[in-house]
Structures are given as structure tokens and as C-alpha cells.
Amino acid sequence: MNDARAYPPRERRVEPKRTVDFAAELNAAQHAAATHRDGPLLIVAGAGTGKTRTLVYRVAHLIERGVPPQRILLLTFTRRAAQEMLARAEKLVGQTSRGVHGGTFHGTAHRLLRRFGPETGLPGDFTILDQSDAEDLMQLSRAALGLGDKTKRFPKKETLHHVYSRHVNTDIPVGAILREEYPRFIAFEDDFARVFADYTARKQGRDLLDYDDLLLYWALMLESAPGIADKVAGLYDHILVDEYQDTNVLQARILKGMCRMHRNITVVGDDAQSIYAFRGATIRNILDFPREYHGAATVTLEENYRSTQPILDATNLLISRAEERFSKELFTRRTGGEKPWLVTAQDESQQTRFVVDRILELHEEGIPLREMAVLFRAGYMSADLEIELTARNIPFDKWGGLKFLEAAHVKDVLAFLRVLENPRDEVSWYRLLLLMPGIGEVTARNAVQSMADLAWSHEAFGRFQPPPRAREAHAALVRLLGDLRGNAGGDEGRVAREITRVRAMYDDILRERYDRVEPRLSDLDQLQTIAGGYPDRSTFLSAIALEPPSATSDLGFGADAEDDTLILSTAHSSKGREWDAVFVIWAVDGYFPMARALGSDDEIEEERRLMYVAMTRARNHLAVSYPLNAYDTRRGADYSIDQVSRFLDRGVRKAFQKVVLETVADPSLTPDADATAPEVDLRALLKNRFAPPNA
């Protein structure tokens, strides 16, 4: 309690929770970081060293010091991380911490742009384009410029968008990106520029913002409008940034602008866990932090509280192979624990059976399912496992992957809501027009053009003269949109009711288009359930773009923390979390690292760090498994399958205990030795069944 006196007397609080004894509850390094006064602070925190804890205590300490919670901004990588930290802070200092602003960069940008946008020439009611919307719009630009005619091989919309996004997020000139990543398109550099110009103009003319715009406009607001910049930057006295190793140049610019008045910036990161270079993140942000912010204090957290020593030995060894990194050796005071397992399975189904059996075994030993996780490189790699878990009635949540919102039918329904919200939303107009029977590309283009000519007024679509074959569909759509527009009011459940109206039309279209409609209809039911939780359409549409439901439990079916569910997750989505038992499956070269990421040393290094992230999630039990015979349906596989991941080299493998799953001969597959003459000809029976009627 002595240390408590070192701090100024606390403000009177409405609900004092308890006295936080910072010195007793944190180790020396954590304590130094949490109680750091003002000015820039860099916390280099290895995996499992209490990074989140330190950040939470720092927030608590700031509040105890008298910093008003609403003047603290906590930027995290996922919505989940923000919620978790704020919940933990609340336990420390009580409800006051609810005033802290926490969220992702994009979510925060969105909030600020809605508020300050009108003062900077942005429309107040812009629509957010997700990645595939942005790609679709890029396609419209490409077509409008007449590029991509069959004659020459012009980059696809995905490529165009990737280059654009990379350029915006990294400040690397387009030409340099092309030379680096797409040498075959260097000749098109000028065309890239033209497409990007049209794309930008098109977004602006239609009140559309893509993900990159959210960050870009935030940065520009701070850099080129002193008046607004003062207002925006003046909102916060302290800024804390989690996972700083995964921020990019644009985000660094934003932070610089946000704290230029007070320089009260705390960043936490681990260079060994940098796994978002594909999104423009650069390790340079964390490496250059001390230079960028003169006088920055640096605190390094090296004591690991998470994993047993044998697990730590294995992960330390794994990351020691990395080319370039801050040297830090994690240690723990935890004793005991067994070596992690390296499991060789004969094939995928054996791997699956092993994982499920072992999970049940550990569950028998008293580990709840929610304290176990299965991690993999990419979403689709858990397909077999999901089937088995379902068959065996083991509840699970799957994290990562955006499949639900990316599904065409979900986007279709959202398109209806989006044109209601923003009649200029060209991307959504195309999407829904093309759904209508009798309307194809040409008619859709004409319709959009005629709406643009009428300045996108609400009646514009009604006035459009469709060709005869599209008349019926056009009339139905006009009626539907008119109905929905007339049904004003912001009452609870309104969005869900709108979806009901839309589905009255759309479900039939769905039935026409797909053979298997049930799963798709149930996706739409889920969408409706989610919509029910939002007060109005605009909030719903923004939220769904910025905070996609990341697990089935997010979909509103009451899967609380109470429920005991196993977690399946991509390695990326597992970042920042920990479990008692962790299974890393598909540790096969070509899968982890993925074949696609073998192009450059940098990419391979990122894959290595990703595996490091996955393995360091484990507290007490870690099993890494790889199937020997992965039969590969993909053509032209130029990588060796059925090889253990290159990251698990001889030396690293020494830190594991090997478990080889044997193939057990199945007696039922051996012909019965007693068999004599056939008793019945089964083939003839079957053949007769399909004999032509008059044969």
C-alpha cells in the first residue's frame, strides 16, 4: 500500500470499486509502463507477457490520476480486443471507465468523420464500401474507361484495388508497387492512374467511402485543416495503441496528428508478432518510434505468464530462426508442464480424429471446451473438423473469415437497404438491378445513367423508362422501394421489418437462382436477427461494414460466455487471445506456410511469425499436427505437399515430443476368407431397377 501514496489523491468517484495496488499487482516493468506519467511511451511486449494487463492498468492509472475517461482513446486491432480491455478496466476502476473511447482505427475514423465530416466537405450520410464493394466500383471505373477489352491482358478489379489500397496505406508510389509485385503490369502504369482517378471521382460523386478513405480522410483532416485538426486532436489527452507492430504508415500519420499537442501516446507491440504486412503494416513504425517521438520511454516486458517452460522453449526456438528482430528471450517462472506434441497423422481424417479425441480427453480431465482452441492458417482448413465436431455434438464457434457477409445473397439483401439509405450508391444499384428478371447489364447501366442525370433524386428510378421485357420487374422494384421509403420512423426492429419486406421479393429470386436455398435462407434469417439489434438502418449498415460478426456467437443466438464452446480460429484472428490447450493443425509446407506466401523472404518471415503467434497462444497444452498424405485437388501444385512445415526444422522439432498416429488396418476392408460362390448378384438387382420402361 506504500506505493499508493506515491500518486496524487484520487478524485472523488461515484462508485469507487477498490483501491488498485499497482505495485503489488504488476511486475516492475509492467508497473513502470502502467504508471508512466506523460509523454511518449513504447512498450515492447513479448507474447504472453501481460501486455493487455499492462495496458488495462495504464488506463486505470490514468483514470485514478484524474484524467477524464472520455479523454482517453484506446485503439485496438479488433472490436473484441477493445471490449475485453474496457471490461477489465471496469473491474479495476468501476463504471467510470465506460467513458473511455475504445475501438479499431476504422471504427474510430468512422465516428470522427460522421461528426466532423460536414465541416470538411464530406457528406454527412456517406455509405461505407467493404472490400468487395470497392472492387466492384473499381470494375465500373475500369469499364467506363474502356480498359480491359479482350485484346490486352488488363489487371482484374481485385488487382487494381489491391494496388490502390497498398498505395494509400503505405505511400509507396504506384510504379514501385507494380515493379515489386506485378512486373507484368508495369506497362499499364498510366492506366492504373486513370482508373484510380475515376474511382476516386466516382466515390466522391456517389457519397461512398471505402475502408482506406476512412483512414485517409482522418489523416487529411489532421494534416490540412488546422481548425478541424485542433478540434479533432483536442478530443483526447491520452492515446493508447495496441498491436502497434501491425499499423501502417497512414495510421502512424494519424497518430502523429492526434497527439501533436500533448505527445501523450503509448504504443504496445511485439515485432515478433507482426502479421499484417499484407495490409500495408510495417514493422518500421515500432522500430522507428523512439526516433519519431524524441524522449520516448521504452519498457520491455520479457516475463511470460502464460505458457509452461517447455512450450516457451519450443516457441523461442521457432522465432529464433527469424531473420530480423528485437532480441528478447522470454522466460517464465512457471515450472513443470510437458513438451508440446508434434503429431504425425496419415491423412486429414486421422488428424481430425486425433484432435477431437484429444479435446474430449482434456475435457474429461476438467478443461472446459472454451479453454481450448484449434488454430489453422486459413478458414477453409477446418472444414473436415467442423463436420466431425457437428457429428459428435461438440459445440464450437468459428472465428475469422468473413464468409457470412461476403455471401452473395447477404450482400444482395443489403443492397436494397443501401440504396434506400444512399440513393447514389451505384454499386448497390447495379447489384440489385441485375437481380431483376429481364434486366441485364445494358438496362442496368441505362437505369443508373438516367438516375445520375436526375441528380439521383428519390423519384429518379421511378421515372426511368425500362425496355418492355423489364417493365414488370421495374414496376415491382419501384413499388417495393416506395413502400420502404414511406415507412419512416426509427423504432426498434424497423430494420428487421424492412428486411422482411425485401425478402418478400428477394426470396423468390433466390429460389430461382440456387439449387440449395435452405442454408442461404437461414443466413438471411441470421441477418435479420442481427438487424434487430440496431436502432436504425444507417447504424446497422455502418456497423456491419466495420464490425462484421466474427463468430457464430456474434450472430445473436444467445451463445454467452456461459456456454462451453470450443473455439476454431484462423491464426490471424487468434492474436491477443490465449487458451489452456491449443491445437495447430495443417502444419504442412504449402498450407502453413501457404504456398501463395512463398514468393519472397519477407512473406515467408511473416508466415513464420504467424505460426509463432499461433503456438504462443497455448498455456499448458500445445499440439501441432500435420497429415502426411494430403491429397490435393488443386492442379499444378508446385510445392511439396505432405512435408512438415519448414518452420519446424530439426532443431525446433527437438523441443517437441513426437506422436505418430499409426494406420490401423480395418478388418472390414478385407474380403471374407470364407467367401465362396456369389449368393446374389447385387449389380444385376441395381441395373434392373433403372431398366428402361419398355425394355
Partner DNA sequence: TTTTGAAGTCTCTCC
Partner DNA sequence: GACTTCAAAA
CB of 12 to DNA, least distance (A): 37
User: Near DNA by CB under 7 A, which window of 101-109, 221-229, 387-395, 536-544?
Assistant: 101-109
Q: What is the rounded distance in angstroms from the CA atom of residue 565 to the CA atom of residue 372?
A: 9
Binding residue (CB under 7 A) for DNA from 350, 570, 620, 625: 570
| Cα–Cα separations (whole angstroms), residue 358 to 113, 537, 617 | 49, 45, 18
- Name the one range near DNA by CB under 7 A: 440-448, 484-492, 553-561, 682-690: 440-448
Q: Which of residues 133-152 bind DNA (CB under 7 A)?
A: 150
Establish whether 152 is a catalytic residue. no
Q: Please count the other Cβ atoms lying within 10 Å of the Cβ belonging to residue 455.
A: 9
Instruction: Enumerate residues 478-517 that contact DNA by CB under 7 A.
Output: none
Q: Which residue in 52, 127, 139, 616 is the catalytic one?
A: 52
At its nearest, how many Å lie between DNA and the CB of residue 410?
Answer: 11
Q: Which of 141, 266, 351, 550 binds DNA (CB under 7 A)?
A: 550
| Mutual angle of helices 426-433 and 408-421, in 10-degree steps | 130
Task: Output 205 or 437, the one with its CB closest to DNA.
Answer: 437
Q: Which residues of 582-614 are buried (b: 16+ CB within 10 A; e: fewer)?
A: bbbbbbbbbbbbbbebbeeeebbbbbbbbbbbb
Cell numbers given for 114: 460522421
Does residue 313 have an active-site annotation? no
346 counts as catalytic: no
52 is catalytic: yes
User: Is 269 one of the binding residues for DNA (CB under 7 A)?
Assistant: no
Instruction: Check binding of 156 to DNA (CB under 7 A).
Output: yes
Catalytic residue among 64, 133, 207, 242: 242
Which 651-690 positions form the footprint of DNA (CB under 7 A)? none
Q: Which is nearer to DNA, 316 or 443 (CB)?
A: 443
Could you tell me the CA-to-CA distances from 694 to 250, 415, 684, 685, 690 in Å, in that order?
75, 53, 18, 17, 11
**Residue choice 4, 378, 478, 659 for contact with DNA (CB under 7 A):** 378
Helix locations, 514-600, DSSP H: 518-531, 537-546
- Which region among 116-124, 297-305, 439-447, 451-459 touches DNA (by CB under 7 A)? 439-447
Residue of 68, 99, 118, 437 interacting with DNA (CB under 7 A): 437
* Cα–Cα nearest to 427, from 161, 118, 108, 117: 161
Q: Under 8 Å CB-to-CB from 407, ≥6 apart: which residues? A: 520, 523
Binding mask 382-401 for DNA (x = CB under 7 A): -----------------xxx
Beta-carbon contacts of 194 under 8 Å, excluding residues fewer than 6 positions away, are 145, 147
Kindly identify the residues of this chain, within the stretch 106-135, that bind DNA according to CB under 7 A: 106-107, 130-131
Helix 408-421 vs helix 537-546: crossing angle, to nearest 10: 140
- Region binding DNA by CB under 7 A among candidate stretches 234-242, 352-360, 434-442, 618-626: 434-442
Least Å from the CB of residue 565 to DNA: 18
617 in active site: yes
**Contacts (CB under 7 A) with DNA, residues 22-81:** 77-78
Residues in 591-650 that interact with DNA by CB under 7 A: 594, 596-597, 633-635
- H or E element at residue 352: helix 348-364
Out of 94, 395, 440, 533, name the contact with DNA by CB under 7 A.
440
Among residues 210, 243, 421, 523, the one annotated as catalytic is: 243
Among 546, 555, 628, 652, binds DNA (CB under 7 A): 546
Q: What is the DSSP string of 78-143?
A: SHHHHHHHHHHHHHHH-GGGGGSEEEEHHHHHHHHHHHHGGGGT--TT-EEE-HHHHHHHHHHHHH
| Using rule CB under 7 A, residue 405 touches DNA | no
> Quick one: how far is CA 107 from the chain centroid?
13
- Alpha-carbon separation of residue 26 from 33, 301, 305 (angstroms): 10, 11, 11
Of residues 453-472, those binding DNA (CB under 7 A): 467, 469-470
* Pick 421 or 523: Cβ nearer DNA: 523
Tell me how far apart the alpha carbons of residues 79 and 76 are, in angstroms, rounded to a whole number: 7
Q: What CA–CA distance (Å, rounded) separates 609 from 406? A: 28
β-sheet with 265-269: strand ranges across = 101-104, 72-76, 238-241, 265-269, 41-45, 297-301
Is 296 among the residues that bind DNA (CB under 7 A)?
no
Q: Could you give the 3-state DSSP secondary structure of residue 594?
A: strand
Residue 476 in contact with DNA, rule: CB under 7 A: no
What whole-number distance in Å separates Cα of residue 497 and Cα of residue 537?
11
75/581 with CB nearer DNA: 75
CA 483/CA 558 separation, integer angstroms: 32
Cis ω before 693 (30° cut-off from 0): no
Contact by Cβ (8 Å): 485, 371: no
Cα-Cα-Cα-Cα dihedral sign, residues 294, 299, 300, 305: negative
The CA–CA distances, whole Å, from 454 to 226, 447, 461 equal 37, 11, 9
Positions of E strands within 264-337: 265-269, 297-301
Stretch of 67-75, 318-326, 373-381, 639-647 lying at the interface with DNA (CB under 7 A): 373-381
Is 460 exposed, middle or buried, given 0-12, 13-18 or 19+ CB atoms closer than 10 A?
middle
Cβ closer to DNA: 442 or 673? 442
Alpha helices in 627-681 (DSSP H): 650-653
Q: Does 548 bind DNA (CB under 7 A)?
A: yes
Helix or strand or coil: residue 300?
Answer: strand
Interface stretch with DNA, choices 377-385, 618-626, 663-671, 678-686 (CB under 7 A): 377-385
Active-site hit among 273, 282, 350, 528: 273
Sheet holding 372-376, edge to edge: 396-399, 566-570, 372-376, 579-584, 618-629, 341-347, 657-660
Give least dist CB 617 to DNA, A.
14
Query: Considering beta carbons, is residue 57 or 399 the nearer one to DNA?
Result: 399
Query: Which of 22, 57, 105, 540 is the binder for DNA (CB under 7 A)?
Result: 105
CB of 23 to DNA, least distance (A): 35
Per CB under 7 A, the list member of 442, 675, 686, 695 interacting with DNA is 442
Q: Which of 187, 408, 475, 660 binds DNA (CB under 7 A)?
A: 408
**Segment lying near DNA (by CB under 7 A), choices 200-208, 374-382, 614-622, 660-668:** 374-382
d(CA 619, CA 305): 9
Q: Which residue in 220, 402, 509, 517 binds DNA (CB under 7 A)?
A: 402
**Count of residues near DNA by CB under 7 A:** 49
Cβ proximity to DNA, 172 vs 661, nearer residue: 172
Rounded least distance, CB 514 to DNA, Å: 8
Q: Out of 36, 306, 572, 617, which residue is the one contacting DNA (CB under 7 A)?
A: 572
Q: Which of 35, 51, 203, 609 is catalytic?
A: 51
Taking CB under 7 A as the criterion, which residues in 270-289 touch DNA? Answer: 275-276, 278-279
**List of residues contacting DNA (CB under 7 A):** 77-78, 104-107, 130-131, 150, 156-157, 211, 275-276, 278-279, 377-380, 399-402, 407-408, 437-444, 467, 469-470, 546, 548, 550, 570, 572-573, 594, 596-597, 633-635
Q: Which residues are the active-site residues?
A: 51-52, 242-243, 273, 617
